[in-house]
Structure 1
Protein backbone atom coordinates (compact mmCIF):
# COMPACT_ATOMS: atom_id res chain seq x y z
CA UNK A 1 0.00 0.00 0.00
CA UNK A 2 1.74 3.14 -1.16
CA UNK A 3 0.37 6.64 -1.51
CA UNK A 4 1.62 9.77 -3.17
CA UNK A 5 2.38 12.75 -0.95
CA UNK A 6 -0.83 14.46 -2.15
CA UNK A 7 -2.90 11.38 -1.30
CA UNK A 8 -1.15 11.09 2.05
CA UNK A 9 -1.96 14.73 2.82
CA UNK A 10 -5.66 14.10 2.09
CA UNK A 11 -5.62 11.02 4.32
CA UNK A 12 -4.03 12.96 7.14
CA UNK A 13 -6.06 16.18 6.99
CA UNK A 14 -9.17 14.86 5.26
CA UNK A 15 -10.74 16.12 2.08
CA UNK A 16 -10.98 19.90 1.85
CA UNK A 17 -14.31 21.45 2.75
CA UNK A 18 -16.29 22.83 -0.16
CA UNK A 19 -16.60 26.56 -0.61
CA UNK A 20 -19.99 27.98 0.33
CA UNK A 21 -22.22 29.53 -2.33
CA UNK A 22 -21.55 32.91 -0.70
CA UNK A 23 -17.78 32.42 -0.94
CA UNK A 24 -18.06 31.38 -4.60
CA UNK A 25 -20.20 34.44 -5.39
CA UNK A 26 -17.69 36.71 -3.63
CA UNK A 27 -14.87 35.09 -5.60
CA UNK A 28 -16.66 35.54 -8.92
CA UNK A 29 -17.59 39.15 -8.12
CA UNK A 30 -14.05 39.98 -7.08
CA UNK A 31 -12.64 38.45 -10.26
CA UNK A 32 -15.11 40.53 -12.29
CA UNK A 33 -13.79 43.68 -10.59
CA UNK A 34 -10.07 42.87 -10.45
CA UNK A 35 -9.61 40.49 -13.37
CA UNK A 36 -8.30 36.93 -13.41
CA UNK A 37 -4.65 37.99 -13.38
CA UNK A 38 -4.71 39.95 -10.13
CA UNK A 39 -5.09 37.26 -7.49
CA UNK A 40 -3.53 39.45 -4.79
CA UNK A 41 -6.48 41.86 -5.03
CA UNK A 42 -9.03 39.07 -5.37
CA UNK A 43 -7.69 37.27 -2.31
CA UNK A 44 -7.59 40.44 -0.22
CA UNK A 45 -11.09 41.54 -1.27
CA UNK A 46 -12.88 38.31 -0.33
CA UNK A 47 -11.13 37.48 2.97
CA UNK A 48 -13.77 39.36 5.02
CA UNK A 49 -16.47 37.06 3.58
CA UNK A 50 -14.97 33.77 4.78
CA UNK A 51 -17.25 31.36 6.61
CA UNK A 52 -16.33 30.94 10.27
CA UNK A 53 -13.64 28.40 11.03
CA UNK A 54 -11.79 28.74 7.73
CA UNK A 55 -7.98 28.42 7.96
CA UNK A 56 -5.99 31.64 7.39
CA UNK A 57 -4.83 30.54 3.93
CA UNK A 58 -8.35 29.60 2.74
CA UNK A 59 -8.37 32.58 0.36
CA UNK A 60 -4.71 32.37 -0.65
CA UNK A 61 -3.96 33.58 -4.17
CA UNK A 62 -3.30 30.01 -5.30
CA UNK A 63 -6.50 28.64 -3.72
CA UNK A 64 -8.58 31.47 -5.26
CA UNK A 65 -7.13 30.87 -8.72
CA UNK A 66 -7.70 27.14 -8.40
CA UNK A 67 -11.30 27.51 -7.21
CA UNK A 68 -12.07 30.06 -9.95
CA UNK A 69 -10.71 27.69 -12.58
CA UNK A 70 -12.87 24.91 -11.12
CA UNK A 71 -15.94 27.20 -11.21
CA UNK A 72 -15.33 27.98 -14.88
CA UNK A 73 -15.09 24.28 -15.71
CA UNK A 74 -18.35 23.41 -13.94
CA UNK A 75 -20.43 26.40 -15.02
CA UNK A 76 -22.36 26.37 -18.27
CA UNK A 77 -21.85 29.30 -20.61
CA UNK A 78 -24.97 31.45 -21.03
CA UNK A 79 -26.97 30.73 -24.18
Structure 2
Protein backbone atom coordinates (compact mmCIF):
# COMPACT_ATOMS: atom_id res chain seq x y z
CA UNK A 1 0.00 0.00 0.00
CA UNK A 2 1.20 3.47 -0.75
CA UNK A 3 2.20 5.95 1.89
CA UNK A 4 0.48 9.26 2.47
CA UNK A 5 2.85 10.97 0.01
CA UNK A 6 0.17 11.07 -2.67
CA UNK A 7 1.11 7.85 -4.44
CA UNK A 8 -1.60 5.81 -6.08
CA UNK A 9 -2.78 2.80 -4.09
CA UNK A 10 -2.24 -0.59 -5.66
CA UNK A 11 -5.18 -2.99 -5.43
CA UNK A 12 -3.90 -6.34 -4.26
CA UNK A 13 -5.48 -9.23 -6.11
CA UNK A 14 -5.89 -11.50 -3.11
CA UNK A 15 -8.80 -12.23 -0.87
CA UNK A 16 -12.29 -13.61 -0.94
CA UNK A 17 -14.38 -13.25 -4.05
CA UNK A 18 -17.62 -12.82 -2.09
CA UNK A 19 -18.13 -9.18 -1.09
CA UNK A 20 -17.54 -7.99 2.43
CA UNK A 21 -20.60 -6.64 4.23
CA UNK A 22 -20.86 -2.93 5.01
CA UNK A 23 -20.45 -3.79 8.68
CA UNK A 24 -17.25 -5.73 7.98
CA UNK A 25 -15.88 -2.85 5.92
CA UNK A 26 -16.69 -0.37 8.68
CA UNK A 27 -14.97 -2.60 11.24
CA UNK A 28 -11.95 -2.85 8.95
CA UNK A 29 -11.76 0.93 8.53
CA UNK A 30 -12.16 1.44 12.26
CA UNK A 31 -9.42 -1.06 13.06
CA UNK A 32 -7.05 0.50 10.51
CA UNK A 33 -7.77 3.89 12.08
CA UNK A 34 -6.63 2.52 15.46
CA UNK A 35 -3.73 0.29 14.34
CA UNK A 36 -2.51 1.88 11.12
CA UNK A 37 -2.32 0.52 7.59
CA UNK A 38 0.96 -1.31 8.17
CA UNK A 39 -0.09 -3.40 11.18
CA UNK A 40 -2.26 -6.03 9.49
CA UNK A 41 -1.66 -8.60 12.25
CA UNK A 42 -3.37 -6.30 14.75
CA UNK A 43 -6.11 -5.26 12.31
CA UNK A 44 -6.91 -8.87 11.42
CA UNK A 45 -7.02 -9.98 15.04
CA UNK A 46 -9.23 -7.06 16.10
CA UNK A 47 -11.98 -7.59 13.53
CA UNK A 48 -12.26 -11.40 13.53
CA UNK A 49 -15.04 -11.36 16.18
CA UNK A 50 -17.20 -9.26 13.84
CA UNK A 51 -17.33 -11.67 10.90
CA UNK A 52 -20.73 -12.33 9.37
CA UNK A 53 -22.05 -15.88 9.97
CA UNK A 54 -20.61 -18.52 7.66
CA UNK A 55 -17.34 -16.75 6.86
CA UNK A 56 -14.34 -19.05 6.36
CA UNK A 57 -11.60 -18.96 9.04
CA UNK A 58 -9.22 -16.98 6.80
CA UNK A 59 -11.81 -14.32 5.88
CA UNK A 60 -9.94 -11.68 7.90
CA UNK A 61 -6.42 -12.86 7.12
CA UNK A 62 -3.75 -10.17 6.99
CA UNK A 63 -3.59 -10.33 3.18
CA UNK A 64 -7.37 -10.20 2.80
CA UNK A 65 -7.61 -7.21 5.16
CA UNK A 66 -4.88 -5.35 3.28
CA UNK A 67 -6.53 -6.14 -0.05
CA UNK A 68 -9.99 -5.07 1.10
CA UNK A 69 -8.64 -1.83 2.59
CA UNK A 70 -6.84 -1.10 -0.67
CA UNK A 71 -10.12 -1.63 -2.53
CA UNK A 72 -11.91 0.69 -0.11
CA UNK A 73 -9.36 3.42 -0.76
CA UNK A 74 -9.62 2.95 -4.51
CA UNK A 75 -13.43 3.07 -4.35
CA UNK A 76 -13.48 6.44 -2.63
CA UNK A 77 -12.38 9.81 -3.83
CA UNK A 78 -11.62 10.94 -0.29
CA UNK A 79 -7.95 11.20 0.61
CA UNK A 80 -6.59 8.50 2.90
CA UNK A 81 -6.24 11.00 5.74
CA UNK A 82 -9.99 11.69 5.64
CA UNK A 83 -10.79 7.97 5.85
CA UNK A 84 -8.53 7.59 8.88
CA UNK A 85 -10.17 10.53 10.65
CA UNK A 86 -13.67 9.05 10.53
CA UNK A 87 -14.68 7.68 13.93
CA UNK A 88 -16.71 4.49 13.62
CA UNK A 89 -18.45 2.92 16.58
CA UNK A 90 -20.39 0.16 14.75
CA UNK A 91 -17.73 -2.44 15.63
CA UNK A 92 -18.49 -2.10 19.31
CA UNK A 93 -21.83 -3.81 18.86
CA UNK A 94 -22.32 -7.40 17.81
CA UNK A 95 -25.56 -8.56 16.22
Which TM-score tier does this pair reach, normalised by the shorter chain? 0.7 to 0.9
> Which structure has the larger Rg?
1
1-structure distance, mates of 2:42, 2:63: 12
2-structure distance, mates of 1:73, 1:45: 23
**Greater RCO (Cα-Cα under 8 Å, separation 6 or more):** 2
CA displacement at 1:16 relative to structure 2: 1.7
Normalised by the length of structure 2, the TM-score is: 0.65
Gaps of 5+ in 1: 1-14
SS of 2:33's partner is: helix
Normalised by the length of structure 1, the TM-score is: 0.78
Gaps of 5+ in 2: 1-15, 80-95
Which structure has more helix as a fraction of its residues? 1
Runs of 4+ aligned residues of structure 1 deviating over 6 Å after TM superposition are: none
